[in-house]
């Protein structure tokens, strides 16, 4: 089968590799859509500790089951949508309602959706793969994984319909936060950034938009919630300035390893600013994300910037690095 292999930072090759065979409980999926991800871009540019090199790349997917192992939860011919990990449900964190921090959640994961076929391990097939209804396109269904990350973050916020929310960073995750907030009925959302085309998508999704240098304060003395989605240390530090007294700042964007951020401790203490930084997702977040995707009133197609072939991957990552487009779709 054809598969995109990351050989080293900046080096991709399209190779022919064997089609895997499913073991007990596993699924072999013919990939119909695989969307690009900021994590894959980082791996391409500088490597990633969770993405081995050389190795297959891609972890957002949807497709059709073409082979199954014994006692698999789906049958040949089923159209499915899924994510790339699942918790063990037995470790300390899983038993304390923190499945996203499961000690082995990354030990068995799906990598390689930029390929014709994808093998889904038993644990993931059992817990975090779902049937894809005919009404949902393969392209939109492949957004389940990033939307689950957003759902995990949203679950930590005590949001109300009249909450004022500032989302900083109009990349794919920031835009998915805007969509999620709309889905749960939060209407006062401001999206700030620098990329005008991405801000326009945010406007289509229901946010008020502005340049990051012109963030307005709402009628209250600051925003109830500030969601940082850039992964830049200076933006982490600045985010606190936009929160009201008693407000919450979610530091969602991942900064480079080893970096440090500084905050005004007096402001954090006397204004009781809560800082949270969610990681990954648990099974409930995946189910919530799927529910949002199945909502016909929520249109995420503006996030999809076009269909590309696997042999165009280098150009795709060059476009993403230059902030041209949001998420591209490979159809292997």
The Cα 83–Cα 75 span in angstroms is 18
Architecture per CATH, domain 157-276, reads as: 3-Layer(aba) Sandwich (3.40)
Q: Does pLDDT of 65 surpass 80? A: yes
The Cα 286–Cα 283 span in angstroms is 5
Q: Domain residues of the chain, as ranges? A: 2-146+281-330, 157-276
Mean pLDDT taken over the chain? 95
Q: Spelled out in words, what is the top-level CATH class assigned to the domain 2-146+281-330?
A: alpha beta
Given this chain, do its domains 2-146+281-330 and 157-276 carry the same CATH topology? no
Give the pairing of strands 327-330 and 27-35. Answer: antiparallel
Query: Structure pTM?
Result: 0.95
Weakest-pLDDT range from 137-151, 156-170, 213-227: 213-227
Weakest-pLDDT range from 48-52, 63-67, 144-148: 48-52
The residue whose two tokens read 């598969």 is: 3
* Position 302 confidence tier, pLDDT thresholds 50, 70, 90: very high
The Cα 155–Cα 276 span in angstroms is 12
Q: What is the pLDDT of residues 177-192, one digit of tens each?
A: 999 999 999 999 999 9
Q: What is the pLDDT of residues 200-234, one digit of tens each?
A: 999 999 999 999 999 987 667 899 999 999 999 99
Torsion of CA 219, 222, 225, 227, to 10 degrees: 120
């Amino acid at each position: 089968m054809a598969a995109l292999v990351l050989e080293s930072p900046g080096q991709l090759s399209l190779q022919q590799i064997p089609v895997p065979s499913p073991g007990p409980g596993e699924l072999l999926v013919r990939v119909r859509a695989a969307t690009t991800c900021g994590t894959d871009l980082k791996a391409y540019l500088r490597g990633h500790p969770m993405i081995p090199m050389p190795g297959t790349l891609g972890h957002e997917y949807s497709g059709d089951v073409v082979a199954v192992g014994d006692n698999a939860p789906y049958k040949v011919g089923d159209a499915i949508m899924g994510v790339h990990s699942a918790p063990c449900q037995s470790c300390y964190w899983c038993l304390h309602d923190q499945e996203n921090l499961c000690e082995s959640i990354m030990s068995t994961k799906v990598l390689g959706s930029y390929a014709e076929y994808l093998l889904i391990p038993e644990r993931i097939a059992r817990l975090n793969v779902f049937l894809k209804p005919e009404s949902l396109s393969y392209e939109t269904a492949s957004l389940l994984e990033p939307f689950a990350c957003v759902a995990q973050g949203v679950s930590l916020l005590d949001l109300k319909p009249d909450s004022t929310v500032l989302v900083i960073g109009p990349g794919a995750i920031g835009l998915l936060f805007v969509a999620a907030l709309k889905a749960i009925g939060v209407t006062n959302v401001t999206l700030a950034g620098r990329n005008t085309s991405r801000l326009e998508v945010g406007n289509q999704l229901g946010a008020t938009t502005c340049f990051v240098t012109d963030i307005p304060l709402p009628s209250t003395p600051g925003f109830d919630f500030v969601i940082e989605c850039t992964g830049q240390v200076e933006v982490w530090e600045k985010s606190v300035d936009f929160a009201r007294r008693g407000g919450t700042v979610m530091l969602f964007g991942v900064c480079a390893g080893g970096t440090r951020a500084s905050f005004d401790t007096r402001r954090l203490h006397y204004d009781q600013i809560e800082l949270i930084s969610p990681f990954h997702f648990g099974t409930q977040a995946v189910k919530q994300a799927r529910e949002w995707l199945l909502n016909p009133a929520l249109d995420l197609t503006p996030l999809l910037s076009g269909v590309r072939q696997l042999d165009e991957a280098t150009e795709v990552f060059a476009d993403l690095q230059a902030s041209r487009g949001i998420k591209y779709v490979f159809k292997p």
